[in-house]
Amino acid sequence: MTEKMWVYKFEELDAAERYVGGKWDDIRGLFGGKGANLAEMIRIGVPVPPGFTVTTEACNGYLHAGGVFPGQMWEQVLEALKGVEQKTGKKFGDATCPLLVSCRSGAKFSMPGMMDTVLNIGLNDTTAAGMVELTGDARFVYDAYRRLIQMFGSVVMGIPDEKFEEVISAARLKAGVEHDTQLSAEHWLEMTQKFKTIFRSHTQVDFPQDPVEQLHMATEAVFKSWNGKRAIDYRNAANIAHDLGTAVNVQTMVFGNMGDDCATGVAMTRHGSNGEPGLEGDFLINAQGEDVVAGIRMTEDILEMSKSFPEAFKELEQIADKLEKHYHEMQDMEFTVEKGKLWMLQTRDGKRTAQAAVRIAVDMANEGLITKQGAVTRISPEQIDFFLHPQFAPQSLELARSEGRMVARGLNVSPGAASGFVVFTADLAESWSKEDGKKVIMVRPETKPDDVHGMLAAEGVLTSRGGRTSHAALVARQFGKPAVVGVQELEIDLIRREMQVGEELIREGDVISIDGNTGEVFLGELLKMIPDIKDPWLIDLLSWADEFRTLGVWANADYPDDAARAREYGAQGIGLCRSEHMFFETERLPLFQKMIMADLAVDQRDALNELLQFQREDFAGLFRVMDGLPVIVRLIDPPLHEFLPDFVELMLELSDMKLRIRDTATLSQIDELLGQIRVKERIRERAEKLREQNPMLGMRGVRLGIHIPDLTKMQVRAIFEAACQVTREGCTVLPKIMIPLVAHANELRVQRDSLEKEARLVMEEQQIEIEYKFGTMIELPRAALTADQIAEYAEFFSYGTNDLTQTTYGISRDDAESGFLVEYVHKGILPENPFATLDADGVGQLMAIGIKKGRKVRPDLECGICGEHGGDPQSIDLCHGMGLSYVSCSPFRVPIARLAAAHAALKDKS
């Protein structure tokens, strides 16, 4: 029987493929993303320092066994190490030609900086001396040695890193230098000794001199770091399963800090913030990789590398191209130049903003690297949502600039606009945001993995150090947080909790704004606006999505402006115009109240006639904007008491007025007050009459239309007069009249009869034939269950899933979302808020029954959805599956719905 492999050399990818059955996703599961990509790079001929991967299975074995390596794992590590020795011609622990290795974590999904890494393993007093001999560079060797003790001390033994950093700061101060690079060999040698003392005093043991023991302990530490707090927090935030485990990659060290012919850097194959083609990144001459990522030293732009390392830069560009062609994805690479030779240390799919993701997907499809379908599927609806995040309004930006409130500028690494109170620690960011509901901007010199919870809680992130690939930039991009980094003008004093920016002193709790698009930092708050979606790449992507989707995407809009936005965003019709919304406007509400209060039919008709003028104009505006596209106008729905003042307030006002009579001096004033009281009394009486225990289940919807037939007749007249008028202007008007809250087919029959008569009357008066349809909302369970009977009178259905969810669950939609429903979702009693995501098993089933029964009577019955769920990607998937004709959602969600509908269709196809 062949022995189980816990360890694979980088060049043993074939064996791993055989083991998992050749699937790339499973290779990543076994090797972790980093290990899988290292092996893949070797296979395609990219220069990678030799090494091997200890699998995630070994990690899980270790963790399940309570901290014991699986049988044979360690023997396999030692065997693989021998292979590396042969390849490099160096020897682990050898005094004359020592091999040094790094030991890095690498899980299936990228978790930047969340787990541990130890570099320079293999150094001890003897090998360090040997390396000095070999390289003639004692400064480099002791810098590397102290790094090993520092990393090993903090990662493996849990010594606080500050203990070591304090020693370095003191040494810099004593030597009168600003940067670590200015410290000499003697300084680092002295610090190496001091670090050993710190190590001993914290752990009661000496720093291990045996390289094999170092590797053993480092491997264990990496395994254990899978269950560290920050790794768990990150996985929770990024939705990564907790049982995947991490692999360990042991790799020959190459050094970017052996002099000025060495460098280290990180580069994206395209720009991560806006998706532009070309390398984007940072590098540092004479430095180690961690220096770049940690943002501790001010990095140089990667393009500058073409001057200092022309050969290596050219090769890097070629490798970038090769990797993109290989992975069909934008890559985020880590590299080191050692004595002029380029080595690739890592490649992975690059993190990017939503804007960049869209541009890269479209560009790659245009370049033939991926298909249009691939471009559409790799963008998530959430990314489109980020795309539409608010930006600062141009006028507000202009004003702030002219007022001198723009105080600094940094790198615009993650777009979007954010304003909030300045906080200097992650914990405070979290508590102000979560406990006090405050909007905060987290400000740090640089961020570390321990800060992620604060970044998640903050509106935006601002740092004084770090580049485009710093931790702050990567994490902010991933979670769609606006971020500005590397603002050198910021002098942050974490002890005093304040920062100086030029003349300005900003304290914790002051309000600032950051613009992730321009990199500007402002004092105070700025106005925000929703951007137009004129981005050419987004337009292309969504037009490709349209080619794949079969569901229509319509919008819920009441006013011409909303309809225009919806149309600009790609809506193919108005699925719901809530026609009562206009009655709440200032000049109309008194008329509507007059109509409600009228005792005489003639008074009521007068009020309705006046309202008609307004409604006609409302609908005409909508029809003009939607020229050539269908517009569904839903007739009045809410209970009438909503149009009257609140009953309790009326009572209080009346008792107050009555009290005032006593203090009123003149008879005429008393008379006037009595008159006012009489009017209020009438309103109160009316409001009392209209009061219901359960108004949402009361006199509303079609019931109202039957009860006050002249009201809905007026609305239908307004619709048809407007349609005739706009048709005369040359537009194509396709009105659809929708009756709400129908429970019984007879309700619809009665309403339709009376309303269609009115419609025909108007068309005769106007001598114009309008192509129209009568239909109904299906928003009560009875309507869904008797959809065949209802379809006799309805030419279309539109599912009102807000009411349908309310009445199916028996949960009040107005109260539950701030009440017990939150607790239900929190406790897992309900998997999701059913008012946000369609309840497939209950509400979804009713919908499916309705469609089936309705289409049995009318095979071409158009069935849409206009409840809030119409803009929710998961619900859209369900709607596609049910065979709905279209979804209708808020104008802002139209682009999201277009993409989600394409995803649903593509999923279906595959």
Sign of the torsion formed by the C-alpha atoms of 593, 594, 598 and 600:
negative
Cα separation, 236 vs 163, in Å, equals 30
Contact 516, 482 (CB under 8 A): yes
Interaction of residue 576 with ligand PEP, rule CB under 6 A: yes
Instruction: Please choose which of ligand PEP, Mg ion, none residue 12 contacts, taking the beta carbon within 5 to 8 angstroms, the exact cut-off set by kind.
Output: none
Contact 220, 62 (CB under 8 A): yes
* Active site annotation includes 326: no
Q: Which of 271, 471, 641, 903 is catalytic?
A: 471
**Among the residue ranges 273-281, 316-324, 676-684, 794-802, the one whose residues contact ligand PEP (CB under 6 A):** 794-802
Interaction of residue 868 with Mg ion, rule CB under 5 A: no
Interaction of residue 446 with Mg ion, rule CB under 5 A: no
Q: Residues of 406-437 as b/e, b for ≥16 C-beta within 10 angstroms?
A: bbbbbbbbbbbbbbbbbbbbbebbbbbbeeee
Q: Interhelix angle for 138-151 vs 185-203, to 10°?
A: 20
Interaction of residue 637 with ligand PEP, rule CB under 6 A: yes
**Among the residue ranges 773-781, 855-863, 874-882, 900-908, the one whose residues contact Mg ion (CB under 5 A):** 773-781
Q: Tell me how far, at minimum, the Cβ of 909 lies from ligand PEP, in Å.
A: 29
Instruction: Please choose which of Mg ion, ligand PEP, none residue 576 contacts, taking the beta carbon within 5 to 8 angstroms, the exact cut-off set by kind.
Output: ligand PEP
Applying CB under 5 A, what is the total number of residues that bind Mg ion?
A: 3
- Strand locations in 32-160, DSSP E? 51-54, 91-92, 98-99, 101-107, 117-121
Q: Tell me how far, at minimum, the Cβ of 398 lies from ligand PEP, in Å.
A: 39
Q: Tell me how far, at minimum, the Cβ of 740 lies from Mg ion, in Å.
A: 6
Among 867, 871, 891, 895, which residue sits at the site for ligand PEP (rule: CB under 6 A)? 867
Which DSSP string do the residues of 325-339 spell out, in sequence order?
HHHSS-EEEEEEEET
Q: Tell me how far, at minimum, the Cβ of 814 lies from ligand PEP, in Å.
A: 10
Contact 340, 314 (CB under 8 A): no
C-alpha radius of gyration, the chain, whole number: 34
Interaction of residue 800 with Mg ion, rule CB under 5 A: yes
Cα separation, 337 vs 344, in Å, equals 9
Q: How far is CA 409 from CA 484, 499, 754, 788, in A?
A: 8, 15, 66, 64
Contact 614, 588 (CB under 8 A): yes
* Active site annotation includes 328: no
Which DSSP string do the residues of 182-239 spell out, in sequence order?
G--HHHHHHHHHHHHHHHHHHHSSPPP--HHHHHHHHHHHHHHHTTSHHHHHHHHHHT
Token digits of residue 428: 């405070």
Q: Tell me how far, at minimum, the Cβ of 735 lies from ligand PEP, in Å.
A: 18
Interaction of residue 779 with Mg ion, rule CB under 5 A: yes
Which DSSP string do the residues of 591-632 spell out, in sequence order?
HHHHHHH-SSHHHHHHHHHHHHHHHHHHHHHHHHHTTTSEEE
Sorted by sequence, the CB contacts under 8 Å of residue 769 that are 6+ apart come out as: 763
Cα separation, 696 vs 787, in Å, equals 22
Interaction of residue 803 with Mg ion, rule CB under 5 A: yes
Q: Which of 59, 577, 863, 866 is catalytic?
A: 866
What part of residues 770-789 is at the interface with ligand PEP (CB under 6 A)?
Answer: 779
Between 263 and 576, name the residue whose CB sits nearer to ligand PEP. Answer: 576
Q: How far is CA 30 from CA 61, 241, 247, 624, 632, in A?
A: 13, 14, 7, 59, 54
Between 251 and 801, name the residue whose CB sits nearer to ligand PEP. Answer: 801
Contact 51, 3 (CB under 8 A): no
Backbone angles phi, psi at 761, to 5 degrees: -60, -50
Between 492 and 897, name the residue whose CB sits nearer to ligand PEP. Answer: 897
Q: Tell me how far, at minimum, the Cβ of 11 lies from ligand PEP, in Å.
A: 60
Interaction of residue 154 with ligand PEP, rule CB under 6 A: no
**Among the residue ranges 227-235, 339-347, 353-361, 772-780, the one whose residues contact Mg ion (CB under 5 A):** 772-780
Applying CB under 6 A, what is the total number of residues that bind ligand PEP?
A: 10
Between 557 and 723, name the residue whose CB sits nearer to Mg ion. Answer: 557
Among 727, 802, 812, 874, which residue sits at the site for ligand PEP (rule: CB under 6 A)? 802
Other beta carbons within 10 angstroms of residue 486's beta carbon come to 24
Between 344 and 576, name the residue whose CB sits nearer to ligand PEP. Answer: 576
Residue span 581-620 as binding mask against ligand PEP, x where in contact by CB under 6 A, dash where not = ----------------------------------------
**Among the residue ranges 241-249, 293-301, 752-760, 795-803, the one whose residues contact ligand PEP (CB under 6 A):** 795-803
Interaction of residue 280 with ligand PEP, rule CB under 6 A: no
**Among the residue ranges 263-271, 409-417, 423-431, 799-807, the one whose residues contact ligand PEP (CB under 6 A):** 799-807
Give first-to-last CA distance, the chain, whole Å. 40
Instruction: Please choose which of ligand PEP, Mg ion, none residue 338 contacts, taking the beta carbon within 5 to 8 angstroms, the exact cut-off set by kind.
Output: none
Residue numbers of the site for ligand PEP (CB under 6 A)?
576, 578, 637, 779, 800-803, 866-867
* Residues catalogued as catalytic: 471, 866
